[in-house]
Amino acid sequence: MDRFDAMRAYVQVVESGSYTKAAQQLNMHKATVSQQIQQLEGKINARLLIRTTRSVTPTAEGLTYYQHACSILKQVDDVEAQMRQGSHAPAGHLRVNVPVAMGRQIFAPEIRGFLKRYPQITIELACSDRSVDLIQEGVDCALRGGLLPDSSLSAYPVGNLRFALCAAPLYIEEYGLAQSPQELTRHQQIGFLLASTGKMRPIQLTKAGQTLEVDVPARFVTTDSAAALSAGLDGLGIVHLAEFVASHYLASGALVRVLPHWQCPSLPLHLVTPTNQRRAARVKAFMEWAQLLLRQRLGTQLELR
């Protein structure tokens, strides 16, 4: 006798008040249900049911057994459901690549929440401002800014990241504050070298539908956003920063906006993954979490698309 099958049969008989109805609901023969109840009574050495021509009702012992059986069966069902769900839960190792500033300010402080939500996932978070080759380097997911020419990747839009031109008070004391884009040619910038082109990122400004690209000299050029920020804070030149990076320093006065009535073009942000990985549960879970995290943390510093 299977104890759990017998328990289910007994519970069904009590709830339906009939061997016949219980057998129909369980898709079993009436004789099989009757036999299971008899075996159950023999096992516990107690009479569980009183059977008349019109109904079947539990004895006092039978009512107690029914209550405990319901509780036990519910626990068993819950455990089995959890195990079934667990077998499809996101699991495995994730290799993720994000820009340095994003990794330090947004992802690293929040990654604990993701790992707590998905205990079967482990993460390797690489922070780099270069554009990695996801397929060759075995990266599952990356955060990228700008155009996405690689058709071998599946992309999920996050939004457009706002930028600003900033300078430290120390720099302004020496060079003054530019009043027009044309005046920037007499200033110094912290140059940022784009890994995708090998060239310095141009300074572009827009206002009332007009877009200008200004050639600003640079005595210091870097490929690292953290180094660019540090140099800007030290007064080495005007620095082009994402709003989420600059906001703290602007609020404290460590940096000042340059040409605040002009806007820097925003940068499209995408979460990307190799096309053959996009259906993997661990990748999908991270992409959905990361998209929501970025939109929550960046707020108004991000233009939603």
Q: What is the pLDDT of residues 92-131, one digit of tens each?
A: 899 999 999 999 999 999 999 999 999 999 999 999 888 8
Sheet strands (E) in 56-135: 56-58, 92-98, 121-127
| CB count in 10 Å sphere of residue 202 | 12
Q: Which residues contact 285 (CB under 8 A, 6 or more apart)?
A: 90, 118, 121
Can you give the residue range of the structural domain that contains 191? 163-257
Q: Two tokens at 14?
A: 């009590």
Query: Per the structure, how many domains does the chain have?
Result: 3
247-272 pLDDT, tens digit each = 999 999 999 999 999 999 888 999 99
pLDDT at 78 over 80: no
3-class secondary structure, 31: helix
Where residue 242 sits, what CATH number does that domain have? Answer: 3.40.190.10
Check whether residue 111 and residue 25 sit in a common domain.
no
Least confident of 75-84, 184-193, 225-234: 75-84
Question: Which pLDDT band holds residue 148 (cuts at 50, 70, 90)?
Answer: confident
Q: How far apart are CA 55 and CA 264, in angstroms?
A: 81
The pLDDT score that the predictor gives to residue 200 is: 85
Confidence of residue 150 (pLDDT cuts 50, 70, 90): low
Is the domain of 100 the same as that of 136? yes
Q: 85 pLDDT band (50/70/90 cuts)?
A: low
pLDDT of residue 81 exceeding 70: no
**Residue 3: enclosing H or E segment and its boundaries?**
helix 3-16
CA 259 to chain centroid: 36
Q: What is the pLDDT of residue 179?
A: 93
What sign results for the dihedral spanned by CA atoms 83, 84, 85, 87? Answer: positive
C-alpha span between 228 and 238 (Å, rounded): 10
Q: Average pLDDT, whole number, for the chain?
A: 88
Same-domain pairing of 18 and 151: no
Percent of the chain with pLDDT over 70: 94
pLDDT band of residue 4 (cuts 50, 70, 90) is confident
Question: Does one domain contain both 171 and 253?
Answer: yes
For residue 231, how far is the Cα from the chain centroid? 32
* Distance, CA of 243 to CA of 239 (rounded, Å): 12
Q: Distance (Å, rounded) from C-alpha 114 to C-alpha 121? A: 9
Residue 86 has pLDDT above 60, yes or no: no
Residues 175 and 34 in one domain: no
8 contacts: CB under 8 Å, gap ≥ 6: 26, 73
Phi/psi at 71 (5° precision): -65, -45
Give 75's pLDDT tier (boundaries 50, 70, 90).
confident
Assess whether 37 and 72 both reside in one domain.
yes
Transcribe 202-228 into DSSP letters: PEEEEETTEEEEE---EEEEES-HHHH
Residue 214 pLDDT level (bands cut at 50, 70, 90): very high
Q: Residue 52: which CATH number?
A: 1.10.10.10
| Judgement on whether residues 174 and 249 belong to the same structural domain of the protein | yes
